[in-house]
Amino acid sequence: MSPEKVNHLPESDTKLTLGLPGAGGECHRTKAGTKRGFLETVDLNLMSSSNDNKHCEENDAMASSKTPATKAQVVGWPPVRAYRKSAMKGSCKFVKVAVDGAPYLRKVDLEIYHSYQELLSALEDMFSFLTIRNHVNERKIIDNVNGVEYVPTYEDKDGDWMLVGDVPWKMFVESCKRVRLMKSSEAIGLAPRTPAKNSSKS
Amino acid sequence: MNYFPDEVIEHVFDFVTSQKDRNAVSLVCKSWYKIERLSRQSVFIGNCYAISPERVIGRFPGLKSLTLKGKPHFADFNLLPYDWGGWVYPWVEALAKSRVGLEELRLKRMVVSDDCLELLSRSFVNFKSLVLVSCEGFTTDGLAAIAANCRYLRELDLQEIEVDDNRGQWISCFPDSCTSLVSLNFSCLKGEINLTALERLVARSPNLKSLRLNRAVPLDTLQKLLMRAPQLVDLGIGSFVYDPSSEAYIKLKATLVKCKSIRSLSGFLEVVPCCLSAIHPVCQNLTSLNLSYAPGIHGNELIKLIRFCRKLERLWILDSIGDRGLGVVAFTCKELQELRVFPSGVDNAAVTEEGLVAISAGCPKLHSLLYFCQQMTNAALITVAKNNSNFTRFRLCILDREKPDPVTMQPLDEGFGAIVQSCKRLRRLSLSGLLTDQVFLYIGMYAEQLEMLSIAFAGNSDKGMLYVLNGCKKLRKLEIRDSPFGNTALLTDVGKYETMRSLWMSSCEVTLGGCQTLAKKMPRLNVEIINEDDQMEFSLDDRQKVGKMYLYRTLVGPRKDAPDFVWTL
């Protein structure tokens, strides 16, 4: 009857992180229009860490009964204020940002933004040749001069390259190590983009 | 009482200070209502969306102090999207337009912009006190406006706020004529601070009683500030890093000995543990100690410090103190009333049921507890309940979700049951660990004074929630996440929600249909569905489970500032 052991993370991942080392997310019961599905697909294809898969198992487990199969991380647990969490682990999170074809990289402090929209706007300022166009369901990043489209990707704590925008914002901040704006033409093999998150992602 | 002129009654009402009592007084008769409302100076609004600023101003034209709370509690844990709401600008704008002579504004979980702070600073000549707890949305530019324009400012207190720090010179914006400061707390600011300006500000503030510094204030500045303000009662140390053999250290030691008034100590945001002996003379008079942001203080150095704190009434600490350290607290701090043990994130440092039992045995005056721990047993909780029936606040967070009693492998129903049965004055309770409907039966039966209950990953069926709603007559706030409570529980007693401030349910079993039924029956509730993944857009299916629901009673209907992803039914 004993529940599974807590999903202990390797030392290097844990540090003083309280609760969200970059995997899992809210346990949504429904699967309509799901980002979770996309993530699953990408993970299986790229054979990334099993954390996200464990989360999907937990999703099913929680929907059925109260006995959790595995304990993935969830948003907001343990219940510690965001301020306290960031005070304990240090006050800034600088990551390198590379744009395919640009001669040098930039660095941004992810901690000062609250949403994907804010981050992309900041990137737009930093790389002045880029524009973010807001289409109906998507944001596209486009080079003003030659119309080349970019896809924002990031490397997470497990060393995998992910599409920016799938996980809640705070989870992204925790797990992102660096950002790369990849040319769309090179982003073959990634599943079709699901409707982009709006800035409400917490 | 009709024989007395209004002035006499008003004078009597001056002695009635608690809002609860004044609310009661205002219900007696029309005449008392009128006298009370015209003389009320301090108003507390627990939910900024329950009423409009215009109505508050209309009823209490003599308002001087306003306290507002915005977002629900679970917003602290990232369960609420960033721009859900809680903007305070409309309130400040309405107050500015009116003739209210606002002197004090206290905000919790609200969004405060720089424009708002600017407007605030310019609109109220006698503005004295700004206290912001867990707020967001402003930069040091806003602080500069407050510093520059509030001529009689007494209190500027920022708690647990992530300020977008512009590394500005806001502290230099206090004019030379500003000598009225009593309390200044900027410990949460991340950026640099103009140290000279700070020193001069403290030097010209003879009434300064409370000073909490951020980590950018180095030790030698601390020493200079303490020389200027030996009358301090509350001190928050920023950086405490230096060489113990240096002159700076010797100077500081001497200065601290002179600060005989310090009763409250916090901070140590950066610290070299071996140099804490300078603090020991201060410890013997301390009634409040907050080391919960000082991971650098632990082990023997921490215990040495605690042994000096015999008068401590309030202690906030990290779980790196361990059960052994808590044993020392239990032995030393006989006056302890409030204890908070926070997780440090370091696994093997956590505390267990042992520490809590020791505390309950050693500290008879303890009534307020927040305890993050590795594990808990029923036996321990039963012992705690026997040792101590004074708890008014009991918040237990077992880090491992749904963890049972590790000795018996049973749920913790009996343990929490013992707590609620023993602690007849319990007003706030947070549960954790493996729990069945049984614990809610106990809560419904015994927790007669309970006002706030937090539930996570607990219960088996609707019965659990129903026990609570039926039994806890004084319940004001109920927040539930990831528990199997559904429409039956939600809809059985819809009138109950008008007696409460709010209900939060996320990742439970309530459906859209259930929420819609509730909203239809109770027009004076705002039933908000918070919608992050655009799920609801694709399917308006009544049977669809709702991700997040937040409902609250209100006199002003659906709010007009709700963002797209919030759907008020």
Within 13 Å of residue A113, how many CA atoms lie on the same side as its CB? Answer: 24
| Strand extents, DSSP E, B59-103 | 65-69
**What pLDDT score was predicted for residue A66?**
42
CA–CA distance, A171 with B211 (Å, rounded to integer) = 35
Report CA dihedral (B61, B67, B69, B73) to the nearest 10 degrees.
-150
Contact check, Cβ <8 Å, A202/B532: yes
> Which chain A residue has the Cα nearest residue B83?
A200
Cis peptide upstream of residue A168 (ω within 30 degrees of 0): no
In chain B the first and final C-alpha atoms are separated, in Å, by 46
* ipTM of the prediction: 0.88
* Per-residue pLDDT band at B564 (split at 50, 70, 90): confident
Q: Which of B406, B339, B413 is nearest to B382 (CA)?
A: B413
B438 and B446 Cβ atoms separated by less than 8 Å = no
CA–CA distance, B62 with B102 (Å, rounded to integer) = 9
Q: What are phi and psi of B437, to 5 degrees?
A: -60, -25
Contact check, Cβ <8 Å, A8/B347: yes
Amino acid at B364: P
Percent of chain A with pLDDT over 70: 52
**What pLDDT score was predicted for residue B145?**
96
Q: Which of B61, B63, B67 is nearest to B47 (CA)?
A: B67
> Is pLDDT larger for residue A184 or for residue B509?
B509
Q: Chain B contacts of A33, Cβ < 8 Å?
A: 533-535, 537-538
> Is pLDDT larger for residue A197 or for residue B229?
B229
Bridge partners of B455, per DSSP, are: B480
Task: Show which of residues 125-164 on chain A sit within 8 Å of chain B, judged by CB atoms.
Answer: none
B543 and B521 Cβ atoms separated by less than 8 Å = no
pLDDT in tens, B514-528: 999 999 999 999 999
**What pLDDT score was predicted for residue A70?**
47
Average pLDDT over residues B410-439: 97
Checking DSSP bridges between strand B525-530 and strand B502-506, what pairing results, if any? Answer: unpaired
A3 touches chain B (CB under 8 A): yes
Bridge partners of B185, per DSSP, are: B157, B212
Residue B406 pLDDT exceeds 90: yes
> Which chain A residue has the Cα nearest residue B432?
A78
**What pLDDT score was predicted for residue A63?**
40
One-letter-per-residue 3-state SS of A100-163: CCCCCCEEEEHHHCCCHHHHHHHHHHHCCCEEEEECCCCEEEEECCCCCEEEEEEEECCCCEEE
What is chain B's mean pLDDT, rounded?
A: 93
CA–CA distance, B225 with B433 (Å, rounded to integer) = 46
B412 and B403 Cβ atoms separated by less than 8 Å = no
Average pLDDT over residues A93-110: 86
Q: Which of B142, B93, B140, B98 is nearest to B117 (CA)?
A: B142
Of B397, B482, B484, the CB nearest to A27: B482
Which segment of A28-37, B96-105, B116-125, B404-413 scores lowest on mean pLDDT?
Answer: A28-37
B110 and B69 Cβ atoms separated by less than 8 Å = yes
Q: Taken in order B20, B107, B562, B514, is the CA torsion positive or negative?
A: negative
CA–CA distance, B290 with B285 (Å, rounded to integer) = 14
Q: Chain B contacts of A15, Cβ < 8 Å?
A: 345
Q: Chain B contacts of A115, Cβ < 8 Å?
A: 82
Residue B294 pLDDT exceeds 50: yes
Contact check, Cβ <8 Å, B347/A14: yes
pLDDT in tens, A122-163: 888 888 778 877 665 566 788 877 888 888 999 987 888 889
DSSP track, B227-274:
HH-TT-SEEEEEEE---TTSHHHHHHHHHHHH-TT--EEEEEEEE-GG
User: Encoding tokens for residue B260?
Assistant: 């005989």
B192 and B186 Cβ atoms separated by less than 8 Å = no
Quote the pTM value: 0.78
How big is chain B, counted in residues? Answer: 569
> Is pLDDT larger for residue A121 or for residue A54?
A121
CA–CA distance, B58 with B52 (Å, rounded to integer) = 10
CA–CA distance, B327 with B363 (Å, rounded to integer) = 10
Task: Show which of residues 47-106 on chain A sit within 8 Å of chain B, judged by CB atoms.
Answer: 62, 66, 68, 71, 74-84, 86-89, 91-92
DSSP H or E run through B280: helix B280-283
